[in-house]
Structure 1
């Protein structure tokens, strides 16, 4: 075929609605076919597998009757970096984005690495690196892969080779917006949000790009900006009426950093939004108004980005409560008629069912310990808040669930087979107060540090967790299984009537989806918290999950069920199949020890100053000394603080920035010494 004839043929295919991307496979009439909830399940091309984000696979070869024969088929050891991300799989090839969005293509049957792509995101991130632990996943569409980076890029790669097809910057280079969530692709568009509401004056938005070219199509802001600048659309003008004071100077928040769902029938895109910036409602909005669209589901027209409806879970959000958790699209027989719904368990301790055509409230039920509200109004869906929950002047309030959420970002799942929602629930609490906060003068620090504008102290000794199977139609618990410590893993439900979940004590477990009976488990040796997926390769069904600790779960080492060290923990891709007989390689011991600096004479006042600096700059990744859980090195088992020169090169000058350690160029020599004094004091206290 000559090139002119080939060009004519390609044009004809385009006119017919087919995609002529020969290098990525044969043309298809429906580019979204693999993403539809009705797809076969051979592939897992998106974060939740399909547009409806159910985290359900219809594959059934691995089932309640066969799971006893499930074994390890292959594994890959990964370098240091966040392993708590969701893989995808298409045409028998597995794709992962771990660490700072390092993408790998892997033969799904053998575990052979086909190619690796590194965007060098950590080196480009600057201050954005200070509250960011890397990628949660990626997406596939029409032979392309899409991944976001901590520095704010959205990148399209050729799936066959890893070649860069296009790259766009989705945020401001100097702002605190960054990307951790997986992109979503629908109807030729790729959608991305961002985080950053906890560390700077951030106004949230989502952006849709042309999936083929990277051209920006539309952007929707999740909170209103400065009225003096005019509003982008009528939804912003409406939302502004629910804010007070000079909220735009604080950013407002509402970042859509994690989950989205799409209904192709109504061409509705559902956005789950985050907390306020800062958390404290009294600082952000004078304690007045609902502050739309914080902690909400927003339905948008997928073609234009125009507002359709919203439902707000926490009006006037003031506790870091997010609605950026999984939104499962389902059809339930309510009042004798099929009703299209969206099901979500946000952070706040309730599980909601909302009409996805209108946003009308259907139901909400408590699934965890809740102290901030006594009930949800059965007509409006608005919470009945507990007196004192907003921690007014001179008062404190013990908040359950904590800001980690009764359901965090680790995915829940909905099975259309059983009709149940499977939620990894955490029970933990924190005490909130306004101590030391002046709402009139408070401003976000410009250092990229965590800044809630409230005093938040963990409630110790009472946390637990469980895997909950909830019947959203009958509004009752079907079963519940206790899980170790506070953190438990993301969930996969399958057509084999199984539920897979990893746990913090190192086991990967399969349960009977109907009864919760434990049928199979595997000892991974490290916590398994990432969401599993199911797919086929060469005609065989596989289950894949990433093992190892990262993100917030690894910072809060005291909330894990086993001790995890950053340097020695095994970060692995684990893949299972019926009849699998592979074995894990023995871990290689890594010995690290504290080194004293004889020239650093004890100074209690300097150590006290160092504690304040450490709490603001370092604790977000390292945790408190002696309690780091694997996201970053345990500094009390490190030689680095024992050398003033090494400490300065790493902390001030960014010598390890490529490995995720940000530079703190603003710290003076005295401040570096104060932090070292604090670490030395802690090391001697633990030794004695």
Structure 2
């Protein structure tokens, strides 16, 4: 009898374990179950709110490091981990996936999709995973979507979601619902791209539907009525440059309406007057678009930036909630795109409820609540040749996710403040053609970005009153995404290397831990063995590499400093592995090298096209890639050729450029040597300040004269 009972008990435990692992629509709708963090936003509503409260305002002082997982061989760790049934899943670098025991920190399995680094010319890194019914789904930067067995890491299926050789690539997290997995792509900043999203069968990888964001060539016919409608908002031959509209980050599933909401991206090229020379809103760029989740059919849209011309993506996260407005319940979608406004939309029909500025916004006065359109400031579209506006293309809120607490009713947003300079000098719509040298239709920016150029904060925002509740300044310009918990806490990893817990009511810092390196990644919380845990990836890499001194100021050098997963719980006291102190590289030079100004100018254009994205604006490295001013490799033509053209460091993440001639490589060396010898002076600062004042005067004059 005892044997039978014991067998039944073991069988029951196996069934319970199996049920826990069965992440499906019901599990991702169950907001009160905090054991797992099984999706990019934890649950379908993407509130990034954990109902766990063991770690709270009173107990957080006891929070300690349980263990770390070192990732020495990867270059980017910007993603948010998942946790399902005591296993943590992370995606790092070129979509390499690791499964780790959450109690011990031991590797269960790893999967490398074998991305060819020779074919990859940018290094953003992957930002998230999806989990569904025992499988892990990851978008690979080279355009593949793959499904892995969650227990073994074995490949279940793989599909190419893009077209071989095109400009599309994947950095965002897939979303899963109704046995479908959906993925978009990026690439509209680098050349011809027509954006789309694709839904696949989770079991087989078979394509279920695809929806294009912008219309193609009318002569080829339109895929659906939505594209035919959208084409009426474009002019000229927009399809020759692709149009843009990539869905590279935000997608939110709404089980109540069975809809998927897409946050769509910028135009290709950025410059509206070149992309659509006769004007027009250019649907569905920079919009929130609702589609039927099963068929991909268009339901409604709201465009945040009609006729966008500033890279004002709406690909930032979209949060769902049920709230009381004017005494009546409303099902709302909350959204803070790059353009600096916070939007509250009705999920049923996309109607605008409210929109207000989160901070310094100068391109538009306000959002007209009747028409739903921005009231733009004259001159903001650089119609007079140039413009300086807030925010710039980095956005007031970027991809780093915000979090919503149903306890406080506040949205917690990682914000930025930095101006954007736009200039389309010499570009005539009648003659301009997109090229590798000018994919955006704008004059390039070549200089270093100083540490004073921008700042950041955590902003607690009341979406009902559209007013600030509190605000806390954060270090530098680019910090991690946020989560909030029932314990009354808001967590964030920061650029200065600290993992911080704040009081969700006041912003007061209640706890901090030094991670040994800065991060942009968002944390997450889960429970294992009845204990609440927190996990976060830390490491310097990703989009901040482009920002020169603005992001180099923290002193993290990716190849010197760690990339790691850190896991915390109450009363843990593991030691943090040693790491180098922050440092800044010193430029070296060959005094016998004679700089040719003409060659340096030619090298500047080449550097901007291919090198700045990793090695930093003005040859001031922002963190991960080496600072070429301090590298001995460019000192000789032979050494430089061996690395840049012959692929000598491909194994360490350095792309190869076989198309570069000896003359082009020499021009690059002249530009690097020029920048190595450049010393910013008080006079440079004065000139920069004067140019800034002149731009403001020009903008003011334009607004007065119309």
TM-score bracket relative to the smaller structure? over 0.9
Q: Is the 8 A contact 1:122 1:658 kept in 2?
A: no
Question: Does the CA-based 8 Å contact 2:545-2:613 persist in structure 1?
Answer: no
TM-score by length of 1: 0.92
Q: What is aligned with 1:169?
A: 160
Residue pairs, 1:304-323, within 5 angstroms: 304-323=295-314
- In structure 2, C-alpha distance between the alignment counterparts of 1:351 and 1:254, rounded to whole Å: 20
Instruction: Kindly indicate whether the alpha-carbon contact (under 8 Å) linking 1:281 and 1:287 is maintained by their aligned counterparts in 2.
Output: no
1:569 aligns with 2:561: yes
Partner of 2:571: 579
Matches within 5 A, 1:333-348: 333-348=324-339
| Alignment of 1:250 onto 2:241 | yes
Find out whether 1:655 has 2:648 as its counterpart.
Answer: yes
Alignment match, 1:92: 86
Aligned to 1:520: 511
**Preserved CA contact (<8 Å) 1:610 1:671:** yes
The answer to whether the Cα contact below 8 Å between 1:566 and 1:634 also exists between their aligned partners in 2 is: no
More divergent stretch after superposition (561-570 vs 509-518)? 561-570
After TM superposition, list the pairs within 5 Å mapping 1:483-522 onto structure 2. Answer: 483-522=474-513
2:703 is matched with none
Which among 421, 426, 429 is matched to residue 416 of structure 2?
A: 426
1:474 Cα offset (Å)? 2.0
Per-residue CA distance 1:330-362 (angstroms, 9 max, x = gap): 011012111101000000001000001100000
Aligned with 1:639 (options 632, 637, 642):
632
Do the aligned partners of 2:619 and 2:672 also contact (CA within 8 Å) in 1?
Answer: no
Query: Equivalent residues in 2 for 1:32-43 (5 A)?
Result: 32-43=25-36
Does 2:452 align with 1:452?
A: no
- Residue deviations 1:357-402 (CA, integer Å, cap 9, x gap): 1000000011021010001102222100000111014x32111101
Task: Give the aligned partner of residue 665 of structure 2.
Answer: 672
Asked if structure 2 preserves the Cα contact closer than 8 Å seen for 1:607 and 1:677, the reply is yes
User: Helix, strand or coil for the counterpart of 1:609?
Assistant: helix
Residue 652 of structure 1 deviates from its aligned partner by 1.7
Q: What is the DSSP-based 3-state SS (H/G/I as helix, E as strand, rest coil) of the residue aligned with 2:216? A: coil
For 1:177 and 1:556, the matched residues in 2 are separated by 23
Deviates more, 1:601-610 or 1:155-164: 601-610
Residue in structure 2 matched with residue 614 of structure 1 by the alignment: 607
Deviation (angstroms), 1:582: 1.1
SS in 1 for 2:481: strand
Q: Give yes or no for the alignment of 1:411 onto 2:404.
A: no
Does the 8 A contact of 2:23 with 2:131 survive in 1? no
Residues 1:419 and 1:357: Cα distance change in structure 2 (over 3 Å): same
Q: Which residue of 2 aligns with 1:12?
A: none
The aligned runs of 1:98-113 (5 Å cut-off) are 98-113=92-107
Aligned position for 1:44: 37
- Residues 460-469 or 324-333, more deviating: 460-469
**C-alpha contact 1:490 1:501 (8 A) present in aligned 2:** yes
Q: Cα distance, 1:623 vs. partner? A: 0.5
Change (3 A) 1:27 1:623: closer
Q: What per-residue deviation string (whole Å, max 9, x for no partner) do you get for residues 386-430 of structure 1? A: 00111014x321111010000010010111121110000100002
Q: 1:436 aligns with which of 426, 441, 465?
A: 426
Classify the secondary structure of the residue corresponding to 2:602.
helix
Aligned to 2:209: 218
Cα deviation for residue 604 of structure 1 reads 2.8
Map 1:275-424 → 2, pairs under 5 A: 275-393=266-384, 395-424=385-414
User: What's the CA shift for 1:38?
Assistant: 2.2
Measure how far apart 1:66 and its partner are.
Answer: 0.7
Per the alignment, residue 252 of structure 2 pairs with 261
Q: Which moved more, 1:410-419 or 1:595-604?
A: 595-604
> Do the aligned residues in 2 keep the contact of 1:431 with 1:456 (CA within 8 Å)?
no
Structure 1 residue 27: Cα displacement: 9.4
CA contact (8 A) 1:191 1:207 kept: yes
CA distance in 1, matches of 2:395, 2:64: 33
8 Å Cα contact 1:597-1:643 kept in structure 2? no
Q: Is the 8 A contact 1:430 1:456 kept in 2?
A: no
Structure 1 Cα separation of the partners of residues 382 and 62 of structure 2:
53
* Deviation of the 1:202 alpha carbon: 0.4
Q: Deviations over 1:527-547 (max 9, x none)?
A: 132101001122211111111
- Is residue 2:131 matched to residue 1:140? yes
In structure 1, the residue matched to 2:182 is 191
* 8 Å CA contact retained: 1:504, 1:529: yes
Deviates more, 1:560-569 or 1:246-255: 560-569
Instruction: Show structure 1 runs of 4+ deviating over 6 A.
Output: 27-30, 589-595
CA RMSD of aligned residues (A): 2.3
Secondary structure in structure 2 of the residue aligned to 1:38: coil
Supply the distance in 2 between the matched residues of 1:396 and 1:27 (Cα, whole angstroms): 57
* Partners of 1:131 and 1:450 within 8 A in 2: no
Give, in whole Å, the separation in 2 of the partners of 1:390 and 1:353.
26
Q: 1:591 to 1:490 in 2, by over 3 A?
A: closer
**Cα displacement string for residues 423-479 of structure 1 (whole angstroms, at most 9, x for unaligned residues):** 001000022121122222322324xx6732112658863522110011111221111
Contact (CA 8 Å) 2:539, 2:558: kept in 1 or not?
no
How far the C-alpha of 1:37 sits from its partner, in A, is: 4.6
Structure 1 range deviating more: 333-342 or 560-569:
560-569
1:464 to 455, 471, 474: 455
Residue 148 of structure 2: aligned partner: 157
Moved more, 83-92 or 206-215: 83-92
SS at match of 1:488: coil
Cα deviation for residue 268 of structure 1 reads 0.7
Change (3 A) 1:651 1:287: farther
* SS of residue paired to 2:108: strand
Residue correspondences, number: 662
Secondary structure of the 1:535 match is strand
Does structure 2 conserve the Cα–Cα contact (< 8 Å) formed by 1:625 and 1:636? Answer: no
Tell me how far 1:682 sits from its aligned partner. Answer: 2.3
Tell me the CA shift for residue 175 of structure 1: 0.7
